[in-house]
Structure 1
Amino acid sequence: MADLHLEPLSATTVVAANSLTLKPGQEQYAVPVSHAEAEQTIDPEAAWPRVVLDGDEVVGFIKGSFDEHETRPEFRCCIWQINVKGSAQGRGVGRFAVHGLADEARSRGFHRLTVIWERGDAGPEQFFLHVGFRPEGETRFGEVIGVMDL
């Protein structure tokens, strides 16, 4: 994983990004209920979709959102989605993606990055805690709202 880089989602990478195979049991955590509910109100211009490539291979996908006018603070500067190919997990791909999004957030003048996750044995909680998020509340669905100061 020495040649990791981020690229905008494109016609040549979208199929690979949509076909990432997670580890068994992780699929149920891919998109929290809060995101599915809020998706209709998020400004598509605020979206920041990127693939993580290792050389020429798509090994991850991250979608952020940057909207300083969003009324819900958990969606102003957030990770909307992150998926890492099961066979690439544990090799720094997710950390690389989160740090790339955090760098973009800083360059846009944001000071906090948020993410929402569901608790569960195969869920992403340990990953988000490990990369520097701290729980700061819950959604009305009981999902964790995590915050990282930038």
Structure 2
Amino acid sequence: MTLHLEEITPGNFEAALGIRVRPDQEHAVEPVERSLAEAYVHPPGVAWPRLILDGARPVGFLMAFLDIDWYGDGSVRRSGLWRLNIAAGEQGRGYGRFAVGSVGAQIRRRGGSDLYVTWHPGADGPEGFYLRLGFRKNGETSGGQTVGVLGVGHG
């Protein structure tokens, strides 16, 4: 595996749009199209969308949020994983773990120490994946989703 991230550009835009999760997961994560639209409408530097590649082969998409006003009142700033879409035929190969590690490294580079994520609750959601990576539920919900946090140290 030669895993790396690429910024979304005109040259890889179509490849990013081609990332599709399994049909039974579609209710739990927004499609790449929506993520890119959300990245566009936020101030520069808030969204960090990236294509996940294994060599030259697109295998997933991630989007981080960096230093956002979590409650919208200026009281709490957080960074974390906003979206993670691993292509249906590519799951179970370590790409999700790589994505989480990459977001954690980006947060550390920016001086952060915690990586936040939200997930769709229930047996059909990704809770087991996140808990296996060391995330812990912090008792909050956001938009009906469970909030988890992972310590990533300081850069």
What TM-score does the superposition give when structure 2 sets the normalisation length?
0.81
Structure 2 unmatched runs, 5+: none
**Partner residue in 1 for 2:118:** 116
Q: What is the match of residue 46 of structure 1?
A: 46
Q: Specify every segment of 5 or more residues in structure 1 that has no aligned partner in the other structure, as ranges.
A: none
Which residue of structure 2 aligns with residue 19 of structure 1?
A: 18
Which structure has more strand as a fraction of its residues?
A: 2
15-24 or 83-92: bigger deviation: 15-24
Alignment of structure 1 residues 1-150 onto 2, 5 Å: 2-31=1-30, 42-67=42-67, 70-72=69-71, 76-139=78-141, 141-150=143-152
Q: What is the CA-CA distance between 1:6 and the residue it aligns to?
A: 1.1
Q: When the two structures are aligned, how many residues end up with a matched partner? A: 142
CA RMSD of aligned residues (A): 2.3
C-alpha contact 1:114 1:145 (8 A) present in aligned 2: yes
Aligned residues of 1:74 and 1:145 also touching (Cα < 8 A): no
Answer 1 or 2: which has greater helix percent: 1
Question: What secondary structure does 1:67 align onto?
Answer: strand
Work out the CA distance in 1 between the residues paired with 2:113 and 2:142. Answer: 24
Q: Report sequence identity in percent.
A: 39
Looking at structure 2, the residues matched to 98 and 67 of structure 1 have their Cα atoms a distance apart, in angstroms, of 17
Counterpart Cα distance in 2 of 1:74 and 1:144: 18
TM value normalised by structure 1: 0.84
Q: Which moved more, 1:86-95 or 1:59-68?
A: 59-68
Structure ranking higher on relative contact order (CA contacts 8 Å, 6+ apart): 1
Query: How far did residue 105 of structure 1 move?
Result: 0.4
